[in-house]
């Protein structure tokens, strides 16, 4: 069939949509070869999202994939630039210290002590390419970016400068270094009127993020979701209808109660450090779903403070050891699993409104067990299915996600 003659762009577009994003890219590329209309619609789907997940030792391939993607956009800015809706690049690009681009001289320098030397120059080249390509993505809605630096780890970076000439209106922004937070708050966030979700990660524990009390009150009117340290809560919650908060508590204990008082209208709350819960529980009167990254193996957590949460329906208990399962002894894992029912029973006693508890284990394929209150007792149910997990964790997510790996990345 001659698709140019018989299929209008609207129909071809639906065909392309049906092939992505879960299908192999080769199918979209095959469709692109059939006609000009098919090529345009296939490229629209192919370039809509860029998210290459790289494991350890795979950075070189990830840098190459991102470089090819960005170079294609630079070479066809009008046709491809406006296709990109979501862009994710985590710990691949390397920012310069004080300039917008890496100069030729900087590539010749020996950056002693840099923590990721094998891919240093490739990461520097990627930064330069990204610096040219991001402003072309005029319809970008979701940006997740974590950049390295030739500075020592634990310092703020020059990464925010990459957004200087960008004019997209983001719906979600996830940033990889909380020490850049003051610069983001002054130079970027006040000019993102459509932003609904903001997250900032990888906080250096020994370097508190300064509190910002003068953030423009009329900025970020649509903000609904925050992931970050106490500074982000204090800056953004006042005057805004923030429904979901993922609170990273590190060394900023002095401001806990100040932030806690701001959470009286929050419905979905995740706290990374259980030591802070007893200081703020009295303010959490609207929390319906509480997620605690609180456990270690064979621990005996105190849930008495849950009595203050009079709206709580669902409690999620995350396992703090989940990132290093290979370091655990089998008998420890068995002992932990045996204690799940007892731990859940304790939470139901502590909170009369609680209906279910989700307990994270060590099975990466399906890691949560659901335990429900049934009359005066409890019932241990089946492991939580992916569709149920997506629904439960959706309020904390910066954008619609596709799989368990995405949930783990943001939670």
DSSP 333-364: HHHHHHHHHHHHHHHHHH-TT--EEEEE-S-S
Percentage with pLDDT > 90 across the chain: 40
Cα angle value 70/394/200 (rounded, 5°): 55
Per DSSP, which regions of 30-80 are E strands? 49-51
Mean predicted confidence (pLDDT) in 179-206: 88
- What integer pLDDT is reported at residue 367 of this predicted model? 75
Q: How confident is the model at residue 163 (pLDDT cuts 50, 70, 90)?
A: very high
Q: How confident is the model at residue 221 (pLDDT cuts 50, 70, 90)?
A: very high
- What integer pLDDT is reported at residue 336 of this predicted model? 67
Q: How confident is the model at residue 350 (pLDDT cuts 50, 70, 90)?
A: very high
19-41 pLDDT tens trace: 444 445 555 555 554 555 555 66
Q: Rank 99-108, 233-242, 274-283 by mean pLDDT and report only the highest.
A: 233-242
pLDDT at 117 over 60: no
pLDDT at 392 over 80: yes
Identify whether the C-beta of residue 146 lies closer than 8 Å to the C-beta of residue 91: yes
User: Could you give the dihedral angle defined by the CA atoms of residues 76, 82, 83 and 87, in that order, rounded to the nearest 10 degrees?
Assistant: 100
- What integer pLDDT is reported at residue 249 of this predicted model? 80
Pick the more confident residue, 364 or 369. 369
- What integer pLDDT is reported at residue 15 of this predicted model? 43
pLDDT at 325 over 60: no
- What integer pLDDT is reported at residue 115 of this predicted model? 47
Look-up of token digits 């992931």: 227
- What integer pLDDT is reported at residue 1 of this predicted model? 40
Q: How confident is the model at residue 10 (pLDDT cuts 50, 70, 90)?
A: very low
Pick the more confident residue, 35 or 189. 189
Mean predicted confidence (pLDDT) in 388-408: 83
Least confident piece of the model among 33-37, 83-87, 170-174, 227-231: 33-37
Q: How confident is the model at residue 141 (pLDDT cuts 50, 70, 90)?
A: very high
Mean pLDDT score of the chain = 80
First-to-last C-alpha distance (Å) of the chain: 48
Per DSSP, which regions of 43-130 are E strands? 49-51, 86-95
Question: On the CB side of 38, how many CA atoms lie within 13 Å of its CA?
Answer: 18
Q: Label residues 228-245 b or e (16+ Cβ within 10 Å = b).
A: bbbbbbbbbbeebebbbb
Q: How confident is the model at residue 216 (pLDDT cuts 50, 70, 90)?
A: very high
Question: Can you give the pTM of this predicted structure?
Answer: 0.84
Q: How confident is the model at residue 203 (pLDDT cuts 50, 70, 90)?
A: low
- What integer pLDDT is reported at residue 273 of this predicted model? 73
- What integer pLDDT is reported at residue 408 of this predicted model? 74
- What integer pLDDT is reported at residue 85 of this predicted model? 94
């Amino acid at each position: 069939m001659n698709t140019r003659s018989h299929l209008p762009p609207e129909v071809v577009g639906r065909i392309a949509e049906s092939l992505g994003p879960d299908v192999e890219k080769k199918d979209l590329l095959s469709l692109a070869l059939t006609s000009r209309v098919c090529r345009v619609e296939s490229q629209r789907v192919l370039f809509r999202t860029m998210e290459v997940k790289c494991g350890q030792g795979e950075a070189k391939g990830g840098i190459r994939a991102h470089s090819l993607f960005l170079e294609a956009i630079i070479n066809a800015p009008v046709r491809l630039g406006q296709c990109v809706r979501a862009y994710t690049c985590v710990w691949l690009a390397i920012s310069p210290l004080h300039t917008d681009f890496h100069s030729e001289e900087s590539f010749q320098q020996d950056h002693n002590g840099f923590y990721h030397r094998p891919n240093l120059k490739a990461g520097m080249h990627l930064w330069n390419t990204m610096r040219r390509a991001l402003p072309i993505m005029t319809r970008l809605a979701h940006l997740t970016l974590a950049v390295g630096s030739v500075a020592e780890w634990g310092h703020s970076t020059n990464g925010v400068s990459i957004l200087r000439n960008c004019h997209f209106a983001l719906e979600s922004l996830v940033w990889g270094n909380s020490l850049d937070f003051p610069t983001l708050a002054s130079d970027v966030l006040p000019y993102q009127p459509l932003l609904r979700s903001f997250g900032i990660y990888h906080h250096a524990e020994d370097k508190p993020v300064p509190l910002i009390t003068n953030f423009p009150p009329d900025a970020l009117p649509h903000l609904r979701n925050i992931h970050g340290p106490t500074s982000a809560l204090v800056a953004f919650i006042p005057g805004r209808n923030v429904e979901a908060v993922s609170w990273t508590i590190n060394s900023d204990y002095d401001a806990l109660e100040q932030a806690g008082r701001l959470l009286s209208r929050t419905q979905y709350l995740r706290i990374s450090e259980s030591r802070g819960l007893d200081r703020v529980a009295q303010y959490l009167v609207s929390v319906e779903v509480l997620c605690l990254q609180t456990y270690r193996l064979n621990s005996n957590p105190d849930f008495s403070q849950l009595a203050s949460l009079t709206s709580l329906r669902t409690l999620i208990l995350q396992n703090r050891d989940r990132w290093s399962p290979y370091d655990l002894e089998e008998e420890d894992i068995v002992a932990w699993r045996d204690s799940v029912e007892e731990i859940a029973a304790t939470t139901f006693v502590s909170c009369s409104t609680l209906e279910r508890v989700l307990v994270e284990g060590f099975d990466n394929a399906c890691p949560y067990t659901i335990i429900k209150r049934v009359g005066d007792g409890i019932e241990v149910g089946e492991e939580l299915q992916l569709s149920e997990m997506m629904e439960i964790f959706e309020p904390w997510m910066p954008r619609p996600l596709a799989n368990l790996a995405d949930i783990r990345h943001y939670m």
